[in-house]
Amino acid sequence: MTDLEKDRQKSGIERGEVYLGIELGSTRIKAVLIDNSHTPIASSSFTWENQLENGIWTYDLSTAEAGLQACYADLCSNVEAKFGVQLERIAAIGISAMMHGYLAFDEQDKQLAPFRTWRNTNAEEAGRKLSAIFDFNIPIRWSIAQLYQSIIESETHVSNIRYLTTLSGYIHWKLTGRKVLGIGDASGMFPIDSQTKDYDADLLSRFDSLVHGKGYPWKIREILPQVLCAGEEAGNLTEEGARLLDPGGKLKAGIPLVPPEGDAGTGMVATDSVAPKTGNVSAGTSIFAMMVLEKPLSRQYPEIDMVTTPSGSPVAMVHSNNCTSELDAWVRVFQELLHLTNAQISKPELYDKLYLASLQGALDCGGVIVYNYLSGEPITGLLEGRPMVVRSPESVLTLGNFMRAQLYSTVAALRIGMDTLYREGVTIDRLTGHGGLFKTLVVGQKIMADALETPVSVMSTAAEGGAYGIALLAAYGHRREAQESLEHYLETHVFSEMNIQTIKPEPEGVTGFQMFLKSYTRGLAAERAAVESVG
């Protein structure tokens, strides 16, 4: 960065011409501050983990709030260290978080049940029944599936529900007092009608009819957040919200906030994938591909979620619960070994070396198969997971083969789901990747391109992820011209000169992955047996 550029950014901070995006992801809370040119100028993060309590994957909301404060404080410290000024004014703020889940509150705003995250697979019966009644696929991680499962199991708290929301909706509510949700995140709570840009009225009515007679004092629409599209007014930071974000008192109330979004929507924005025939793959704790459709699919599919962009366009989503968490666990094992030998190597360098080692492995992984199922995997029909490494006696176990199998496993279930879209004739002009899998240059991109048999692009901002995407939505909400579409804003003002690297699939790599996937699919019987007999 030149001194002139640094001075320009410093001046923008002093004038409050900056935009803040905060995303509460599965393993960390991240904040990104961008300037008027949409360039990230500072970032920070707070690490957290979900817990498995009484069979439910959950986070404590007090930890979310504490992490939010710690992340913001770290951002302010980084700004002061880098620019020598304090962050006191912000033009607009956006909140994003992992989609789906179940956060229920009563009329006194008391939380009624532990936060159930997207990772839970307990709502299989509800998802199956609602999908049949709605003639619309309802994945088991969706909020409406979690609510109906609670009804099926006669949970007493359901009668007391007065508000149901997601994590991004909760944080936005605490900051602004507004019970609203961006349409992309809302589309993971309840089906959306892309024509009306609201919950599907017919399906709302069907749900009310389904639970009629149970004596609940609410209709489903009454307890869901108000749906807002990107660019719409979503409230301002209250005094209480300012103190929640910044207990030190420097941040002033009144800052506008944009509609809160889910990580799928912010991933689309961060990769300029909101126009028809564009798509993106987000690869971190979970992995999902989003394809913006030109026309509806011919029918519902259990492996395809129908959601929307932050502006309400229909999107086909393939979501796999498991991606890099098991790979991360093995990296920690290698790190322990290096510690025993007193070897000095940083964690990012270790990741790079192990990822690069995968490129030395056999294209079919030498017969080594990995199942990265820390949790259930709906795409392959498993409600629980058991991480496994499986190989036959004649397989070749090398570091390269092992690491290639680990990386293949991160995308295997996704490819199984993507085959459904390919058979539907869905095509895209570009597929852009972002998330932790792409931090090591080339490797994750190459694995993804070969696995999905399509070119995969990565932008220079790929590592910033959804926090960057929600910061862009904050800028869009504050700076767009009247009636300017989100697609036009991103294409014209943000990504027109972005540095983009693209890798195409190679025939031998495609063949190697297909050989691995054939063995992986056959071996799912062993994974099912492990679920039944282990743990």
The predicted-structure confidence for 453-477, as pLDDT tens digits, reads as follows 999 999 877 667 789 999 999 999 9
Do 403 and 277 sit in the same domain of this protein?
no
Q: Mind listing the pLDDT tens digit for each residue in 499-509?
A: 889 999 999 99
Q: How far apart are CA 506 and CA 102, in angstroms?
A: 42
pLDDT score of 9:
94
Do 205 and 351 sit in the same domain of this protein?
no
pLDDT score of 428:
84
Q: Kindly state the average pLDDT of the residues 479-491.
A: 92
pLDDT score of 436:
84
How far separated are the first and last CA of the chain, in Å rounded?
Answer: 53
Q: How far apart are CA 4 and CA 11, in angstroms?
A: 11
- Is 499 inside a domain boundary? yes
Indicate the pLDDT class of residue 378, thresholds 50, 70 and 90.
confident
Q: What angle do CA 80, 84, 90 make, to 5 degrees?
A: 55
Share of the chain above pLDDT 70, in %: 99
- Comparing CA positions, the residue from 178, 92, 183, 180 lying closest to residue 480 is 92
Do 499 and 523 sit in the same domain of this protein?
no
Structural domain including 146 reads 100-165+190-223
Question: What's the one-letter identity of residue 484?
Answer: E
Q: Kindly state the average pLDDT of the residues 83-110.
A: 96
- Is 72 inside a domain boundary? no
CB atoms within 10 A of CB 518: 11
- Is 411 inside a domain boundary? yes
- Is 421 inside a domain boundary? no
Do 340 and 352 sit in the same domain of this protein?
yes
- Is 393 inside a domain boundary? yes
Q: Kindly state the average pLDDT of the residues 339-349.
A: 94
**pLDDT tops 90 at residue 498:** no
**pLDDT tops 80 at residue 446:** yes
pLDDT score of 463:
65
pLDDT score of 462:
66
Q: Kindly state the average pLDDT of the residues 12-36.
A: 95
Do 319 and 333 sit in the same domain of this protein?
no
Q: What is the CATH number of the domain that holds 456?
A: 3.30.420.40
- Is 302 inside a domain boundary? yes
- Is 383 inside a domain boundary? yes
Do 389 and 476 sit in the same domain of this protein?
no
Do 210 and 309 sit in the same domain of this protein?
no
- Is 218 inside a domain boundary? yes
Share of the chain above pLDDT 90, in %: 85
**pLDDT tops 80 at residue 406:** yes
For residues 220 and 208, the answer to whether their CB atoms sit within 8 Å is yes
Q: Which residues pair with 271 in a beta bridge?
A: none
Question: What's the one-letter identity of residue 467?
Answer: A
Indicate the pLDDT class of residue 285, thresholds 50, 70 and 90.
confident
Q: How far apart are CA 253 and CA 229, in angstroms?
A: 23
Position with higher pLDDT, 337 vs 297: 337
Among 214-223, 271-280, 354-363, which stretch is predicted with the lowest mean pLDDT? Answer: 271-280
pLDDT score of 395:
97
β-pairing, 28-34 with 261-262?
Answer: unpaired
In sequence order, what are the residues at sequence separation of 6 or more whose Cβ sits closer than 8 angstroms to the Cβ of residue 440?
351, 352, 355, 356
Indicate the pLDDT class of residue 338, thresholds 50, 70 and 90.
very high
Number of domains within the chain: 3
Do 297 and 338 sit in the same domain of this protein?
no
Position with higher pLDDT, 368 vs 285: 368
Q: Kindly state the average pLDDT of the residues 176-192.
A: 97
Round the average pLDDT of the chain to a whole number and report it.
94
Do 336 and 444 sit in the same domain of this protein?
no
CA distances from 483 to 144, 181, 232 (A): 32, 20, 11
Q: Kindly state the average pLDDT of the residues 239-253.
A: 95
Q: What does pTM read for this prediction?
A: 0.84
Show the tokens assigned to 228: 């807002």
Do 380 and 459 sit in the same domain of this protein?
no
Q: Kindly state the average pLDDT of the residues 292-299.
A: 88
Show the tokens assigned to 512: 């190697």
Among 225-229, 295-299, 371-375, which stretch is predicted with the lowest mean pLDDT? Answer: 295-299
Do 402 and 495 sit in the same domain of this protein?
no
Do 206 and 126 sit in the same domain of this protein?
yes
User: Is residue 471 exposed (0-12), middle (13-18) or buried (19+ Cβ within 10 Å)?
Assistant: buried
Q: How far apart are CA 523 and CA 317, in angstroms?
A: 26
**pLDDT tops 90 at residue 35:** yes
